[in-house]
Structure 1
């Protein structure tokens, strides 16, 4: 195998902003405002770890999180946590969410992120 072939096998996305993502409406029970759609494309899995691209259109949704780290690629929004804290989201923001975190996502402009889902080794947040 040549060096070029090895590099090609390791390349997960040439441009994460251009990865096609098929959207579907967010479940009605999770929508708190607007008519958001979302979708994800898994780029790689290794054991219990998953890496991919996720996108959501504008609106307000609630969620219970899994163990995750992510980097916002584009868009703007705000994640509010049940403890009253919030995290502004914009291109370049890096966030860690813990399994069990209850969140409210306020998306002002279609948000795209690279995510890494990790095994849940910690106790969920009450």
Structure 2
């Protein structure tokens, strides 16, 4: 997708400090963090919303959660705890239409979030 911000990051057209990367996903710090730790995990395959996932994306979904686990270890928040969030469409808070997981931690996170 030529106009997709995250696709441009994956392609290297927009710089980012990669925290974790494998063949399926890439992770970097959010530029507007909502917690001391706020990392975005993006799949390298462009999928606009969770509604666009299909059965062929099962392994990719697992890769997102495994990456979250690795990021929690890298950021040293496995013991204190962390939250994984995926927003879908405008009312769900999605602002970049390329699915991505937010990993938040580094402080006590309140519930409900908003």
* TM-score, normalised via structure 1 length: 0.30
Query: TM-score of the superposition, structure 2-length normalised?
Result: 0.32
| Larger Rg over CA atoms | 1
Higher strand share: 1
Which protein has greater RCO, CA pairs closer than 8 Å, 6+ apart? Answer: 2
